[in-house]
């Protein structure tokens, strides 16, 4: 079971890792884009206060703000993708636990049935490597009680 599920677990772990990496990348891009947008809007406002042309810098500021909102949407999609990957991993863990429980139930000693099988030895199955004879003298008295003489 472990071998069977190992590749599936590894694939999902890699997917979760990639989803986390993408989320971090999207958050970083959003942070940079938001900062750029704030700076651009600040420059436009300062330019308007100081009497410079506002039309082209205002358009740039709006586009910058649009990119920042797009990056925010990318973060939402990355979070959703990460959540899906994590849920798949947890589903696979649950499936693995169920498979292990089924196997344990199947192999539980209480659930096993045994048959009695008599195996008669063959002459070729018997091997005597060393034979010894030991004699210990005993003496039996008149009352029939044995007593060791050694």
The pLDDT value given to residue 108 = 82
Residues comprising the chain, all counted: 150
Cβ atoms 92, 8 nearer than 8 A: yes
Backbone angles phi, psi at 108, to 5 degrees: -65, 135
Tell me the backbone φ, ψ of residue 138, rounded to 5 degrees: -125, 150
Query: Model-level pTM?
Result: 0.53
Structure tokens at 94: 């649950």
Residue with tokens 């959003």: 30
Q: pLDDT tens, position by position, for the chain (150 residues)?
A: 889 899 999 999 999 999 999 999 988 888 888 787 777 777 777 776 776 665 556 566 667 767 777 888 888 899 999 999 999 999 999 999 999 999 888 888 887 788 899 988 888 888 888 989 888 999 999 999 999 988
Cβ–Cβ < 8 Å for 71, 16: no
pLDDT at 111: 76
| DSSP SS3 for 38 | helix
Structure tokens at 52: 């410079």
């Amino acid at each position: 079971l472990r071998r069977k599920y190992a590749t599936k677990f590894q694939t999902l772990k890699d997917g979760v890792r990639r989803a986390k990496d993408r989320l971090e990348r999207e958050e970083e891009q959003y942070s940079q884009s938001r900062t750029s947008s704030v700076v651009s809007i600040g420059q436009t406002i300062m330019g308007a206060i100081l009497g410079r042309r506002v039309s082209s810098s205002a358009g740039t500021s709006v586009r910058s703000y649009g990119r920042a909102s797009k990056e925010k949407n990318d973060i939402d999609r990355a979070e959703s993708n990460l959540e899906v990957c994590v849920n798949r991993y947890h589903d696979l863990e649950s499936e693995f636990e169920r498979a292990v429980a089924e196997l344990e139930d199947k192999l539980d000693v209480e659930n096993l049935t045994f048959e009695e099988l008599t195996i008669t030895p063959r002459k070729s199955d018997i091997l005597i490597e060393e034979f010894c004879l030991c004699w210990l003298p005993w003496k039996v008295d008149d009352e029939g009680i044995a007593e060791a003489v050694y």
